[in-house]
């Protein structure tokens, strides 16, 4: 595909990156080339390309994310007209000398004229845990056997005063951006605990344009779902307030839960409001209240402590919406935590919090991935205490 007006062809290597999720997984294609000899000899000028690694940032799935970008001059394709003549090899090596390898054959679309392009850009999103890495890559011409090798060192820093320092244990050093390996987040409690997590998938919309503001709720919900509760259970509920529907309901321990959460948290077209979302919006907030009540009234072991975690973006409603707070006279006592997520550039008001005021929720305002990490650590610490 052509990216913007810069005549750049971009290839995202997510399909090839699957091998990065396997600890020590080697790519058999590396056996067909003298990669280590290239490393010893260094680069050369046979092929014109560049390698860049963006600074790693803590992302909402709680890994350090970065992009490895290889840029190949379009002239190299004009010199080599045979399709698939060039290959790209990538290796990531951690401090324990565990290697993560992948490769890709470089092909332009049949309808693409190299003369119309400035460059071919390969983008490999990768997530890391703290440590030091050698990132090595080569572009190789399978006909002439010409190559150009490049190497970059990457340092992924530890988090200062990290509340989840042990969460990295058991994770692969490098992994494809989907980050399928679960965290180590053990939660130990003296008493049995029943945790209810309610995520509101509805995002606030601009009243004029109908556009909603992106908030990374799915990544944060998936991290919460990875809590390893040693003495209890967790039940997940995803609500769509705009259509007054329960999108997902089930035990977090279900092996299919994470996959189904992604579908449940999908908000569809962020710029479109269908008729069913507009009709009866007066009941949206009370639908939320009714679902909170239902989960708090659900069956649980008599001796279990009840915990409710709400995960939501800030949400406002038009005038006239019924915002009566929940009635708690007949509800079992529960500890309630309200995680309210906002983008960095926007802090609009929030109407949902007031509907839960009688439950005395502990509020966490979350903007960054680090905010969320600290909030989840605080909630786990509180839940682990005796009531």
Mean pLDDT by 10 residues, the chain (387 residues): 45 41 68 94 82 95 93 84 85 93 82 72 90 96 92 96 88 79 87 95 67 81 93 95 92 84 70 46 87 89 89 87 84 88 80 92 96 97 86
Phi first, then psi: give them for residue 92, nearest 5 degrees. -115, 125
Give the span between the Cα atoms of 370 and 387, in whole angstroms: 27
Q: What is the pLDDT of residue 216?
A: 86
Check residue 307 and give its pLDDT. Answer: 95
**Helix-helix angle 369-384:217-224, to 10 degrees:** 30
The residues pairing with 125 across neighbouring beta strands, listed in sequence order, are: 67
For residue 303, the model assigns a pLDDT of 81
Q: What is the pTM of this model?
A: 0.84
Per the CB < 8 A criterion, the answer to whether 225 and 234 are in contact is: yes
**Residue 307 in contact with residue 334, Cβ under 8 Å?**
yes
185-384 placed in CATH 2.40.100: no
Chain length of the chain: 387
| Residue among 14, 2, 359 nearest 179 (CA) | 14
Q: What is the location of CATH 2.60.40.2550 in the chain? A: 2-176
List Cβ neighbours of 79 (8 Å cut-off, separation of 6 or more): none
Cα atoms in the 13 Å half-sphere on the side-chain side of 47: 31
Element (H, E) at 40: helix 35-41
What confidence score (pLDDT) does residue 26 get?
Answer: 79
Task: Provide the pLDDT for residue 76.
Answer: 85
Between CA 111 and CA 118 the distance in angstroms is: 16
Q: How far apart are CA 326 and CA 320, in angstroms?
A: 17
Residue 301 in tokens:
């072991």
- Domain(s) of CATH 3.40.50: residues in the chain: 185-384
Rg (CA), the chain: 25
Is the domain spanning 2-176 CATH 2.60.40.2550? The answer is yes
Specify which residues 186 forms β-bridges with: 228
Rounded Cα–Cα distance for residues 228 and 184 (Å): 8
Q: What is the pLDDT of residue 11?
A: 54
């Amino acid at each position: 595909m052509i990216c913007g007006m810069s005549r750049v062809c971009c290839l995202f290597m997510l399909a090839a990156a699957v091998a990065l999720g396997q600890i020590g997984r080697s790519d058999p294609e590396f056996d067909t080339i003298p990669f280590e000899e290239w490393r010893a000899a260094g680069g050369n000028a046979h092929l014109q390309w560049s390698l860049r690694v963006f600074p790693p940032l803590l992302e909402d799935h709680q890994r350090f994310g970065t992009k490895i970008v290889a840029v190949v001059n379009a002239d190299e394709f004009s010199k080599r007209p045979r399709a698939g003549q060039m290959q790209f090899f990538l290796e990531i090596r951690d401090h324990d000398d565990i290697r993560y390898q992948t490769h890709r054959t470089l092909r332009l679309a049949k309808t693409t004229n190299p003369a119309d392009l400035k460059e071919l850009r390969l983008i490999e999103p990768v997530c890391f845990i703290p440590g030091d890495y050698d990132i090595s890559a080569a572009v190789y011409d399978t006909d002439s056997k010409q190559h150009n090798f490049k190497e970059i060192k990457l340092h992924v820093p530890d988090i200062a005063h990290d509340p989840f320092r042990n969460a990295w244990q058991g994770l692969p050093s490098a992994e494809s951006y989907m980050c399928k390996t679960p965290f180590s987040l053990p939660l130990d409690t003296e008493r049995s605990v029943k945790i209810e997590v309610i995520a509101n998938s509805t995002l606030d919309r601009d009243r004029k344009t109908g556009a909603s503001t992106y908030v990374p709720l799915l990544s944060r919900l998936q991290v919460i779902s990875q809590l390893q509760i040693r003495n209890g259970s967790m039940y997940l509920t995803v609500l769509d307030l705009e259509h007054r529907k329960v999108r997902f309901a089930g035990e977090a321990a279900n092996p299919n839960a994470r996959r189904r959460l992604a579908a449940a948290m999908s908000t569809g077209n962020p710029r479109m409001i269908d008729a069913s979302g507009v009709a009866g919006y007066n009941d949206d907030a009370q639908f939320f209240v009714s679902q909170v009540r239902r989960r708090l009234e659900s069956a649980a072991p008599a001796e279990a402590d009840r915990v409710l975690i709400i995960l939501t973006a800030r949400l406002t409603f038009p005038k006239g919406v019924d915002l009566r707070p929940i009635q708690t006279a007949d509800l079992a006592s529960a500890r309630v935590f309200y995680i309210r997520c906002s983008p960095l550039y926007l802090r609009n008001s929030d109407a949902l919090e007031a509907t839960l005021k009688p439950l005395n929720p502990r509020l966490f305002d979350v903007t960054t991935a680090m905010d969320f990490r600290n909030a989840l650590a605080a909630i786990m610490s509180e839940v682990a205490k005796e009531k």
